[in-house]
Amino acid sequence: MTNFLEVRDLSKRFGDFTALGNVSLDVTEGEFVCFLGPSGCGKTTLLRAIAGLDPQTSGTIRQKGRDVSALPPAQRDFGIVFQSYALFPNLTVTENVGYGLVSRRQNRAEIKARVTELLALVGLPDSGAKHPAQLSGGQQQRVALARALATSPGLLLLDEPLSALDARVRVRLRHEIKALQRRLGVTTIMVTHDQEEALTMADRIVVMNHGAIEQVGSPQEIYRRPATAFVADFVGSMNFLGGTLLAADKVKVGDLTFTCPAQDGLAPGLKMQLCIRPEDVRVRDLPADVQNRVPVEVGDLDFVGAFCRATLKVRSAPGVLLTADFSSNLIRDLDVRLGSHLDVALPPDRLRVFAA
Amino acid sequence: MSLAVPALRINLSRDDLIMRAGVVAFVGVLLLIVGLPLWALLAKGFEDRNGNYVGVANYISYFSTPALFNSALNSFHVAAVCTAIVVPLSFLYAYALTRAVLPGRWLFQGISLIPIFAPSLLPGLALVYLFGNQGFFKGLMGGSIYGFDGIVIAQVFYCFPHATMIMVTALATADARLYEAADALGASKIRVFFTVTLPGAKYGLISAALVVFTLVITDFGIAKVIGGNFNVLATDVYKQVIGQQNFSMGAVVGMVLLAPAALAFIVDRLVQRKQVALLTARAVPLIPKPKFGRDLFFTLFCTLVSAGILAILGMAIWGSLIKYWPYNLSLTLANYDFANFDANGWESYFNSLRMALGAAIAGTALMFVGAWLNEKTRGFGAVRSIVQLLAFLPMAVPGIVLGLGYIFFFNAPNNPLNFLYATMAILVINTVAHFYTVGHLTATTALKQIDPEFESVSASLKVPIWKTFFRVTVPICLPAVLDIAIYLFVNAMTTVSSVIFLYAPDTKLASVAAVNIEEAGTTAAAAALCVVIVITSAAVKALHLLADRFLFARLQAWRKR
């Protein structure tokens, strides 16, 4: 497969501040890519550089083989949806959606047919005569999407398109946008700070921090095999246990020794972070010879609906805490309550280790 | 080690080129109508009567001539006293409007604005009727109304609405939650006033003080009518230029007058920059609850102040309708037959209308398009900051100084633009330049309030930026555009100072004619002309409010949910 978009060594500096430092990235045709990261990580800067709205300081961008690095936005091929939607408030929905078509000198009937088609596509077939202020936030979002798609751009850019909406609408629109993108096959880049959004919608996630890319991968890869401590911490919940590397596959935390995936090329004695997700902590049916057994006392139980998040005190290492997700069944079956003593196990294949 | 990567040069789109060309053209226009006339004025101060360069000789002679230098002291004295009176007065009035429950609040607010619609001549004329040599209450005055006292009273009337508007804005933006917190903590009313109310209005107070000071020091009409032998800077400029034909000395006095106005303006900008950081978007507006004692006090206070304003306006109207003051008090419309007092008759009024309409249309277009070019051009920072500077300059320049600069610049025989001299066009251009800053600020504020991504969206849809300007930006900013037009119209109707040097016999304006008629000694006809101006500008403003309420509410239904 050829690369639809090639970003090479892109940097953006504001005076002494580096908003983007030598970022390189490839996007294949038809892909849905999410830029994920905390605010100020450079994800929006990268998106706006790709659009040509805030050009990079150095580096190149090629789209479909064409070098667009120095082109103004109007000479690039993209549609964009902003967090604010930027719908023209004095124009009707029809006029908004048709805004880019009118200047292309298409005839009226063609424009009308295209607008009708687009409004049907985003599920607003009867709202053409309304003004944006008469629509709900979710409906405005769809109009903005229809307007961005009207000119059939090769690249769709979405800048935090869902963050101004309330939780329920957001979840519904996630699916709709993803379904629409699949149907049209338009290459899409979405910027978001919401990891759940990125995990559910993206084919590939680009995790960014401090103007650099931390990891690029499928949602499963990002979640299961975070490449850096930052990604491990930022995406999902994660336990971090400080320890020391004893051997390639052994880390000592307090007076407990854990078996973990082998770390090649690291010298014993290094300070390490041992990581495990709360849902990966095992409690039930531990075999007698289970690896990484930890005797704990239940310190806290936070009810979060479908399950409880337990804070476990490691009994042999005062001050070391472990969080684990316990289902309601498990709590009932094992009669878990505050102060209960339990044995848990940290499966070695679920452990991630990072140099501290 | 990082390799030096050559910085990327971004190709300019057609939009970028159009916008940049527009900004450059706009800088040229501002230079022509503001920058170069002021430069001409500055240069003139270093020349003798024959145009030879004489260095600072004129300045030395200015500061060593007591008669001239005294005017500067007088100007400062009057300005300081007026500021000391107007600021507390307008603070109390604005406090009443925003923090008390007043019966007929909108009426009090409306009355406080009346002086804006009058030429500054009007309060002077009214005082002549009331306390002048043949005035009703002449006995009440210890000495003559002509001079310091008269100027102060008339200035208080003239400056009051400007200070009150600023104070109302400052007091209206209070956060109710601060008061709730102070109440909950058991603070006394006095303590709340000094720890919450006053600090909140601090910047408003400073701003109002600077505005009043500048208005007084730069005003020409009042000192002209009621100043008597009490000379101030603004009248000195006029006397030097019109009376003695000493243009160089006029330029020097103008520069002396420019200094305090410019200083006040710079201080105000610095203060306002701080205020922006003080306001929070999440403030909860304060809605006063009825409280008998306080409301009674403020109702009486506002009634008194309003009565004063109406008395001065009423006196001018009444005076304009009287046959022969003070001997024959029967009513007549004869004073409105201006042909008997001034060669131009009613024509000067129609000139004013034409000029005001021209300034409103041309000025609004220039201000809005200019502000738009400056806001929406990508990059080009250095040139855009020149625009910013040139657009702010007029605020710091007294009208009479700008007018003088226009003589020197446009009347210069080697200026290809000198065909404009003594035409209606130069009056329009001068008025637009004189009132440029407020219109530019209004337009810029309105443009900053609309979504900055509209232009990004247009670019992504390959729609030219000017198309979006006409289809989206202008319709959205229509209320601001109208505000600018009305502001220009009203000021063009009432202004005297900057146009007094620039009219020709056939382009004389009503406000200038009023000065001439008054100079000739016919107070009643001058008052009549002022009344016509007040009625016209107030009517236009009323029409604007009505149109806003009924017509545009329907045309712009999209603004509502």
- Is B55 among the domain residues? no
Q: State the complex-level ipTM.
A: 0.84
The verdict on B275 and B308 lying in the same domain is: yes
Considering the domain architecture, whether residues B80 and B152 belong to the same structural domain is answered as yes
Q: Is the pLDDT of residue A63 over 90?
A: yes
State the pTM of this model. 0.87
The C-alpha atoms of residue A33 and residue A217 are separated, in whole angstroms, by 10
Q: CA-CA distance, A178 to A186, in Å (whole number)?
A: 11
Q: Is there a single domain that holds both residue B480 and residue B385?
A: yes
Q: Are A199 and A222 in contact (CB under 8 A)?
A: yes
Report the domain count for chain B.
2
Out of A58, A80, A99, whose CB is closest to B7? A58
* Nearest beta carbon to residue A80 from set B457, B472, B557: B457
Number of Cβ within 10 Å of residue A267's Cβ equals 7
Cα(B176)–Cα(B285) distance, integer angstroms: 6
Q: Which of A47, A54, A99, A189 to mutate to test the interface with B (most CBs of B within 10 A)?
A: A99
Considering B305, B332, B359, which residue would you say is the last residue of a domain? B332
Distance CA(B54)–CA(B61), nearest Å, equals 12
DSSP A30: T
Q: Do B559 and A59 touch (CB under 8 A)?
A: no
Chain A residues within 8 angstroms (CB to CB) of chain B:
9, 11, 51-53, 55-59, 69-76, 78-80, 82, 84, 86, 88-91, 99-100, 102-104, 131-134, 147-148, 150-151, 153
B456 interfacial to chain A (CB closer than 8 Å): yes
Closest CA to A301 of A249, A329, A336, A262: A336
- Are B176 and B322 in the same domain? yes
| DSSP string computed for A202-260 | -SEEEEEETTEEEEEE-HHHHHHS-SSHHHHHHSS--EEEEEEEEETTEEEETTEEEE-
Say how far apart CA B312 and CA B124 lie, in whole Å: 9
Task: Judge if B18 and B131 occupy the same domain.
Answer: no
Question: Which position has the token pair 């020794």?
Answer: A257
With b meaning 16 or more CB within 10 Å and e meaning fewer, what string describes B227-263?
beebbbbbbbbbbbbeeeebbbbbbbbbbbbbebbbe
In a domain, residue B231? The reply is: yes
In a domain, B84, yes or no: yes
C-alpha to C-alpha distance for A281 and A346, rounded to whole angstroms? 5
Q: Does B369 touch chain A (CB under 8 A)?
A: no
Contact of B144 with B228, CB cutoff 8 Å: yes
Q: Which of B550, B471, B545, B46 is nearest to B248 (CA)?
A: B46
Q: How far is B462 from chain A (nearest CA, A)?
A: 5
User: How high is the pLDDT of residue B2?
Assistant: 44
Contact B460 A55 (CB under 8 A): no
Q: Is B554 on the interface with A (CB under 8 A)?
A: no
Sheet containing A66-67: which strands, arranged edge to edge? A17-28, A3-14, A58-63, A66-67
Query: Residues B108-124, buried b or exposed e (16+ Cβ, 10 A)?
Result: bbebbbbbbbbbbbbbb
Predicted local confidence at residue B282, as pLDDT: 57
Q: Are residues B243 and B392 in the same domain?
A: no
Q: Give residue B311's Cα distance to chain centre.
A: 23
* Residue B6 and residue B91 in one domain: no
Coil, helix or strand at residue A91: coil
Neighbours of B475 (CB within 10 A): 16
CA distance B312 to B318: 10
Query: Is B190 domain-assigned?
Result: yes
Please say which residue of B310, B332, B354 terminates a domain: B332
User: Does residue B341 sit within a domain?
Assistant: yes
CA distance A308 to A328: 7
Query: Rounded to whole angstroms, how far apart are CA atoms B431 and B413?
Result: 23
B414 touches chain A (CB under 8 A): no
Helix (H, G, I), strand (E, B) or coil at A13: strand
Nearest to A199 by CA among A221, A166, A176: A221
Compute the distance between CA of residue B498 and CA of residue B492 in angstroms, rounded to an integer.
Answer: 10
Nearest to A80 among B456, B462, B475 (CB): B456
Predicted confidence (pLDDT) per residue in A294-337, tens digit = 999 999 999 888 889 999 999 888 888 999 999 988 888 888 88
In chain B, count H helices and then E strands.
26, 2
Low-confidence ranges of chain B (pLDDT < 50): 1-4, 277-279
- Determine the pLDDT at residue B6: 57
Question: What pLDDT, on the 0 to 100 scale, is given for residue A165?
Answer: 86
Check whether residue B157 and residue B30 sit in a common domain. no
Predicted confidence (pLDDT) per residue in B294-327, tens digit:
899 999 999 999 999 999 999 889 888 888 777 8
Please tell me whether residues B109 and B142 are part of one structural domain: yes
Residues of chain A contacting residue B11, judged by C-beta atoms under 8 Å apart: 70-72, 75
Residue B262 lies in a domain: yes
Kindly give, in sequence order, each residue whose CB lies less than 8 Å from that of residue B500, ignoring residues fewer than 6 positions away: B220, B238, B242, B400, B403, B512, B515
Q: Do A153 and B10 touch (CB under 8 A)?
A: no
Q: What distance in Å separates the CA atoms of residue A232 and residue A236, rounded to the nearest whole number?
A: 7
Q: In whole angstroms, how large is the CA radius of gyration of chain B? A: 25
Rg value, chain A, Cα? 25
Q: Which residues pair with B175 in a beta bridge?
A: B285
Q: What is the pLDDT of residues A68-82, one digit of tens each?
A: 998 989 889 999 999
**Based on the domain organization, do B390 and B243 belong to the same domain?**
no
Within chain A, where are the H helices? Answer: 43-51, 93-97, 99-102, 108-121, 137-149, 167-184, 195-201, 219-224, 229-234, 328-334
- Nearest-angstrom CA–CA distance, B197 and A2: 66
Q: What count of residues does chain A have?
A: 356
Residues of chain A with pLDDT > 90: what percent?
62
Predicted confidence at residue B86, as pLDDT, reads: 95
CATH of the domain at B219: 1.10.3720.10
Residue of chain A nearest B450, judged by CA positions: A86
Q: Which of B283, B309, B332 is the last residue of a domain?
A: B332
B-chain residues within 8 Å CB-CB of A14? Answer: none
Contact assessment for residue B279 and residue B173, using Cβ atoms and an 8 Å cutoff: yes
Q: For strands A58-63 and A66-67, give the pairing.
A: antiparallel
Distance from CA of B473 to the nearest CA of A (A): 9
Residue span of the structural domain in which B24 resides: 1-44+336-561
B464 touching A (Cβ < 8 Å): yes
Distance of CA B553 to the CA centre of its chain: 28
pLDDT 10s digits, A126-159:
988 999 989 998 999 999 999 999 999 999 999 9
CA atoms within 13 A on the CB side of B474: 14
Judgement on whether residues B315 and B379 belong to the same structural domain of the protein: no
CB A222 within 8 A of CB A52: no
The answer to whether position B269 is within a domain reads yes
For residue A279 the two structure tokens come to 């849902």
Q: Is residue B214 part of a domain?
A: yes
Measure the CA dihedral B516/B431/B494/B242, to 10°.
-20
Nearest to B77 by CA among B170, B194, B202, B213: B213
Based on the domain organization, do B132 and B227 belong to the same domain? yes
